[in-house]
Amino acid sequence: MGHDKLRKFAENETFACLLQPSAEELLRDGYFALRDHEVKGHWGERFADPAAPLVLELGCGKGEYTIDLAQRDPSKNYVGVDIKGARLWKGAKYATQHALGNVGFLRTRIEFISAFFAPGEVSEIWLTFSDPQVKSENSRLTSPVFLERYARFLAPGGLIHLKTDSQFLYQYTLAVCRANNLPVLAASEDLYAEADRFAPALTEVQTFYESMFRDQGYPIRYLCFRIDSKESFVSPEDFDSDYWRSVEGHRTLFGRDTAETRRQKLKGR
């Protein structure tokens, strides 16, 4: 491991805004019986305004989107979630240096997310440029498997926002909403071409990958839907995965122009 990563990991231990729980402790009773973390139900205590609504960004990378949203809207508390400590370091350091009282970060795997948030504790979820996982439905962050996790802690009428360059993931998520009668509140296949329909923050706040794919000419898609109380979700029967995989197209990432490179690189964003 490089010295720079070791330095970041050491500094991460000093950031009060960054929670780094032990996966071993969560898994002590097995993968399907996760132990609840002590922060569950107590997130408000970590922020300047404990009563403010709580918003998550899942797969936040370096945290730039989480921080930008939080600075624009101090009436809400924001938590960025990612497994990569070296990347979370940047967001946690910025939040610490700028004394942002409505920003927090959680280092964990997203499949463990229900161990950290209590029923009704979260008002919104942002999924920003998640890996579309074209070969594994259960790994998609808008799949029934993950929606069931989110439903455990989203407040009634809780919102999920999806921003993606992936036509595959966008169409799949629409199909999931249809199959489960989830209300779609907003949808666009080209967010920037229809910017006047949406709040300015949707186009003014961009992730690293969002800027990269826009520069390559790919439209950015946006979807906002609501999850009401529901215990189980079903997979869409009308989604043609082979077709949407075939039209997904290639992206240039780090000098290589293959879809597989894109999938592998974005897994660790």
Hey, how many other C-beta atoms are within 10 angstroms of the C-beta on 48?
12
Tokens of 260: 């597989």
Hey, how many other C-beta atoms are within 10 angstroms of the C-beta on 12?
18
244 touches 203 (CB < 8 A): no
Beta strands in the chain (DSSP E): 18-19, 54-58, 77-82, 103-107, 122-128, 154-164, 184-188, 221-227
> Rounded distance, CA 237 to CA 57, Å?
28
162 touches 169 (CB < 8 A): yes
- Residues taking part in catalysis: 131
> Rounded distance, CA 48 to CA 30, Å?
35
Tokens of 222: 């946006």
**DSSP-based helix, strand, coil % in the chain, nearest 5:** 35, 20, 45
Backbone angles phi, psi at 218, to 5 degrees: -85, 135
> Rounded distance, CA 132 to CA 164, Å?
9
4 by DSSP, 3-state: which?
helix
DSSP character for 108?
Answer: S
